[in-house]
Amino acid sequence: MNIKLQQSTLQKQSKIAITGSKSESNRLLLLQALYPNISIKNISNSDDATLMQKALQSADSVKDIHHAGTAMRFLTAYYATRNGQEITLTGSSRMQERPIKILVEALGQLGADIQYTNNEGYPPLQIKGQQLQGNLVTLDANISSQYISALLLIAPTLKNGLTLTLNGKITSVPYINMTLSLLNELGVETNFEGNTITVAKFEATNEAKTFTVESDWSSASYFYSLIALSGIGTSIELSSYKQDSLQGDSCLAEIYTKFGVETTFKNNTITLTKTHEATQETITLDLKNAPDIAQTIAVTAFGLQLSCEMIGLHTLKIKETDRLVALKVELEKLGASVDITDASLYLHKASTINKNISIATYKDHRMAMAFTPLALRVPLQIEKADVVSKSFPDFWRDLENIGIEMTEI
Ligand SMILES: O=C(O)C1=C[C@@H](OP(=O)(O)O)[C@@H](O)[C@H](O)C1
Ligand SMILES: C=C(OP(=O)(O)O)C(=O)O
């Protein structure tokens, strides 16, 4: 399905309820498999969370988690601990290009039996579950925090808990803190100081424990962008959000003040309002803690005809696509000039935005969603638009409801 977006104007005031965070959901689903007294409210309806649930529930020996990075990494650790169970864990062709060696070797230090089916260092994996021994693991922390979260999630079920020593610069730290906070909420003792994380053993209890997932902040980014590209006074209310979020992408509230958007928190909702014009000609950001909002921000800056320098983007090359290359190619089709390195992107100030450009999405939900707000400036097309379901299946319906005019082609 491709979508043609007419040049549109957002409703002056609107309301949306965004689905639960896929990051929180997939952590809680894994914890629920380990501690069945857990129940989960406002769980994400994303493909990634649905695939995680299916994999955990099905008795099949082959588990296919498609594009879901968290499911791939968290389930690798989980099945390595399932004594007597043998499974193959696989994913989409892109998933088979996303590295997993650091996690496999870390689990190997605990005695896990994991073999590569095709290419060393990449899924599919053949996992023979067993009771893991040992409690000390050292691993590189600069490639993906998901390897660390995967180990932390199984840590309280290990005989002596776990001590992780992290090598190198730690990336995507808020996602590690989210994992630790959820463990703490369950009652698990943890400590994170410098480059060492410890997790104590924790026994299952019968006491019911309910977690309520906060709505997804990465998904909220597209509404921040829409408001930034709208006229002064335009606002949207998004539920259900908290000021003390576990999600690092809640830094959007501060970042978007630079684009003229103010956020107010009230009764579990946030209201985003365009209150002023952008305050600077060049927006400079380090996104090592919030990699998933890089595409949204680059497109907002382009739409507002600002220049933008983003660093800390070293993880973008191994996500759903090489997001640095994808951003450069698609922004340049629209008339931008973009310089990239392995870890940064520089968008030069644009003087025009080309009309009726067809945006390729590279099997990456965030490419489709990040470019859509440009419909407030020019008509454009989004190719393979159903890709959004990885994290936000209701995206197109919600956008139509707030005034974005579109037709399927
Ligand atoms: O732990 C998580 O839920 C996630 C961690 C981040 O990945 P990296 O740690 O690989 O950057 C992020 O990009 C991803 O969307 C979700
Ligand atoms: C990178 C992402 O997801 P994952 O790594 O979990 O596939 C994302 O949602 O932007």
Q: Are residues 65 and 171 in the same domain?
A: yes
pLDDT at 270: 98
C-alpha to C-alpha distance for 216 and 390, rounded to whole angstroms = 13
Same domain? For 247 and 203 the reply is: no
Does the pTM exceed 0.95? yes
Note the ligand closest to the C-alpha atom of 102: 1
Centroid of ligand 2 to alpha carbon of 12 (angstroms): 32
Alpha carbons within 13 A on the beta-carbon side of 377:
23
Q: How much distance in Å is there from the Cα of 298 to the middle of ligand 2?
A: 18
Looking at the CA of 295, name the nearest ligand: 2
**Residue identifier of the C-alpha nearest atom 10 of ligand 1:** 144
Domain end call among 212, 227, 255: 212
Residues 150 and 257 placed together within one structural domain of the fold: no
pLDDT reported for residue 385: 98
Average pLDDT per block of 10 residues along the chain, 409 residues long: 98 98 98 97 98 97 98 98 98 98 98 98 98 97 98 98 98 98 98 98 93 98 98 98 97 98 97 95 97 98 98 98 98 98 97 97 98 98 98 98 97
Q: Is 54 annotated as a binding residue?
A: no
Question: Which ligand 2 atom sits closest to the C-alpha of 68?
Answer: 7
Cα–Cα distance, 17 to 36 (Å, whole number)? 28
Of the candidates 47, 292, 322, 364, the residue annotated as catalytic is 292
Q: Do 365 and 388 form a contact (C-beta atoms < 8 A)?
A: yes
Residue nearest to atom 5 of ligand 2 (CA): 69
pLDDT at 401: 98
Residue among 189, 164, 185, 172 nearest 110 (CA): 164
Do 29 and 172 have their domain in common?
yes
Q: Are residues 165 and 295 in the same domain?
A: no
Q: Which pLDDT belongs to residue 205?
A: 84
Regarding whether 208 and 68 lie in a shared domain, the answer is: yes
- The verdict on whether residue 145 carries a ligand-binding annotation is yes
Instruction: Confirm if 206 and 54 have CB atoms less than 8 A apart.
Output: no
Q: Are residues 344 and 391 in the same domain?
A: yes
Task: Collect all residues with Cβ–Cβ distance below 8 Å to 141 and sequence separation of at least 6.
Answer: 148, 166, 167, 168, 169, 170, 171, 195
Query: 294 and 242: one domain?
Result: yes
CA distance 17 to 52: 22
Number of domains in the chain: 2
Residue 83 shares a structural domain with residue 188: yes
Position 337 scores a pLDDT of: 98
The answer to whether the annotation marks 391 as part of a ligand binding site is no
| Chain-centre distance for alpha carbon 165 | 24
Question: Does residue 147 sit in the same domain as residue 204?
Answer: yes
Where in the sequence is the domain holding 290, given as residue range(s)?
3-20+215-408
Ligand 1 atom nearest the C-alpha of 27 is: 3
CATH number reported for the structural domain that contains residue 263 in this entry: 3.65.10.10
For the question of residue 342 being annotated catalytic, the response is no
Tell me whether residue 319 is annotated as binding.
Answer: yes
Residues with CB under 6 A from ligand 1: 23, 69-70, 144-146, 149, 171-172, 175, 291-292, 315
* 3 state DSSP class of 261: strand
Task: Please report the pLDDT score of residue 88 as a whole number.
Answer: 98
Question: Which of 195, 212, 229 is the last residue in one of the domains?
Answer: 212
Report the distance separating Cα 275 and Cα 272, nearest Å.
9
Asked if residue 175 and residue 257 are part of one domain, the reply reads no
Burial, 36: exposed, middle or buried (Cβ in 10 Å; 0-12, 13-18, 19+)?
A: exposed
Strands 196-199 and 162-167 come out as: antiparallel
Ligand 2 atom closest to the Cα of residue 67 is 7
The answer to whether residues 204 and 223 belong to one domain is no
Cβ-proximal residues to 9 (8 Å cutoff; 6+ apart), any chain: 230, 376, 403
Interacting residues of 341 by C-beta distance below 8 A, sequence separation 6+: none
Supply the DSSP symbol for 20.
Answer: B
Answer with the one of 155, 184, 212 that is the final residue of a domain.
212
Could you give the CA distance from residue 76 to residue 116 in angstroms, rounded to a whole number? Answer: 12
* Residues with C-beta less than 6 Å from any ligand 2 atom: 67-70, 292, 319, 366, 391
ipTM rounded to 2 decimals: 0.99
